[in-house]
Amino acid sequence: MRQPCVYILASGRNGTLYIGVTSDIVARAWQHRSGVVEGFTDRYAVHRLVHVEFFGTMEEAILREKKLKRWRRAWKLALIEEGNPQWRDLYEDLQR
């Protein structure tokens, strides 16, 4: 599934959040989950894909990522709750 997107990972419900951008969400989510890339998500066990937004261009995705990173935490949690109230790991949906 190669399409520009912004994604949010969480360590658990209402846990630590990570916002990123990629053109290949399946590969990128796998990298985070498997710990292949050292860094924030590996250090804080932020592996659950809880929100994804797709865009037509990478430029649009990057602008949205920057906007979300400036949001208050409460707004980010509300965004996740709106689209994924159970905080399911959406990675499983991408595998289908």
Domain ranges for the chain: 2-94
Residue 2: per-residue pLDDT: 84
And the tokens for 70?
Answer: 């400036």
pLDDT: is 96 or 3 the higher one?
3
Using CA atoms, how far apart are residues 1 and 60, in angstroms rounded to an integer? 17
Task: Find residue 52's DSSP bridge partners.
Answer: 7
pLDDT in tens, 38-67: 899 999 999 999 999 999 999 999 999 999
Residues 68 and 62: beta-carbon distance below 8 Å: no
Domain at 2-94, CATH class: alpha beta
The answer, as to whether pTM is greater than 0.85, is yes
Per-residue pLDDT at 1 exceeds 70: no
Using CA atoms, how far apart are residues 35 and 68, in angstroms rounded to an integer? 24
pLDDT, average across residues 57-80: 98
pLDDT, average across residues 17-26: 97
pLDDT, average across residues 19-39: 93
Share of the chain above pLDDT 70, in %: 98
